[in-house]
Amino acid sequence: MKKLTLFLLGLALCMQAFAIMPGDDGDRLLGVWEPSNGRARVKVEKIGSKYYGKIVWLKEPNDPKSGLPKTDMNNPDANLRNVPLKGYRMLKDFVYQENNQWSEGTIYDPLNGSTYSCTIKMTDPNTLDIRGYIGVSAFGRTDVWKRLAVKK
């Protein structure tokens, strides 16, 4: 009986440890991800309490006309058209909600300089549903991003 009590006490301590584990569920978004078109790879990092995703690799990194690395040439703000695309934060300002969702963020499409409202849902640890929309979620499109790992 004593042994059983002590064992259960130990088990309860372990379970409590899981419940008060430090670290943020939202940090599961951190890592490198690839959009479905395979043309870019995006690294998610945290600044303050929000999550941001920046382009770290481009399938076609250089502008075909100039041969120079691509920049944000479709940005509506003319003074910011020189920002390099490699390193550009296309996902911004995501706040972790519950239930594997991050919201309040935006996604930027460098192909046309448009910014869309965006929500992220982690459907499994290696898969994200990134939904960009205008106004209401119904007017939008979901893209599935997959987590990347370095090949051994």
Q: Do the beta carbons of residue 58 and residue 86 sit within 8 Å?
A: yes
Please, which of residues 18-77 interact with other proteins by CB under 8 A?
18, 21-24, 27, 30, 32, 34, 36-39, 41, 45-50, 52, 54, 56-57, 64-65, 71, 74, 76-77
Least CB distance to other proteins at residue 123 (A):
11
Is 123 among the residues that bind other proteins (CB under 8 A)?
no
- At 73, which amino acid appears? M
How far is residue 26 from each of residues 29, 46, 56, 94, 104, measured CA to CA in Å? 6, 10, 21, 10, 13
Least CB distance to other proteins at residue 36 (A):
4
Q: Which one of residues 1, 67, 78, 99 is an interface residue with other proteins (CB under 8 A)?
A: 78
Q: Is 93 helix (H, G, I), strand (E, B) or coil?
A: strand
106 half-sphere exposure, CB direction, 13 A CA radius? 10
Which CB, 38 or 99, lies closer to other proteins? Answer: 38
